[in-house]
Amino acid sequence: MGCGHDHDHEEFDERGKLIVPDDVQDAIRTLIRWSGDDPTREGLLDTPARVARAWREYCQGYGEDPAVHLSRVFEEVGGYDEIVVLKDIPFQSHCEHHMAPIIGKAAIAYLPTNRVVGISKLARVLHGYARRLQIQERLTAEVAECIWNHLEPRGVAVVIEASHACMTARGVRTPGVNMVTSRVMGLFRRDDKSRGEVLKLMGY
């Protein structure tokens, strides 16, 4: 996915804080005014710059290619040919329809052929895609496809369970509702028994 701005030419102030251009701050002041408050009152004076920096952080995935985390693989796997599972990986993202938080956890599993990665790398792939404006279905698919393409495993399964603030805090206001999405590829897709086994290991 292309990135809309140039992260290589960011400027920082004398305290090392990212300098936020005036037009970006003005946009946030406009939103504050539109929401019903006065952006010139004292408590809100520094808010536009803070919000802007926070959004750079929420969306720092645009500045990276998550596949880089899968470039260092271990080929000496000692004959290990069973499923590898990483469960309950917490993550945060933002929905592209409301720019509201998506907060949840993911389970990622794969069946290696001859390559494995350090398990923290699977979480890094997730965060690389989560730190963008997303929909949960695409996030799930992107994580699965990245692992499928770069580790060339026999199977991949990704299950994401998350709550969407655009649903829990506004609109129909249904706190406690989670959305579950999954993407299953390779052997886990073709073979019912393997799929059952992997989903059970993942806690589903």
Q: Which residue has the tokens 């350090």?
A: 118
Least CB distance from residue 180 to Zn ion, whole Å? 16
In the complex with Zn ion, the residue whose CB is nearer, 100 or 199, is 100
In the complex with Zn ion, the residue whose CB is nearer, 83 or 95, is 95
Helix (H, G, I), strand (E, B) or coil at 165: helix
Ligand-binding annotation for 166, yes or no, is yes
Least CB distance from residue 100 to Zn ion, whole Å? 5
DSSP state of 38: -
Least CB distance from residue 162 to Zn ion, whole Å? 11
Distance CA 151, CA 165 (A): 34
What is the CB-side half-sphere exposure of residue 55 using CA atoms within 13 A?
Answer: 16
| ∠ CA 116-195-122, rounded to 5° | 30
**Which positions touch Zn ion (CB under 5 A)?**
95, 97-98, 166
In the complex with Zn ion, the residue whose CB is nearer, 17 or 97, is 97
Ligand-binding annotation for 95, yes or no, is yes
Ligand-binding annotation for 3, yes or no, is no
Q: Which residues pair with 133 in a beta bridge?
A: 94
Q: Which residues are annotated as a binding site for Zn(2+)?
A: 95, 98, 166
Residues making up the annotated binding site are: 95, 98, 166
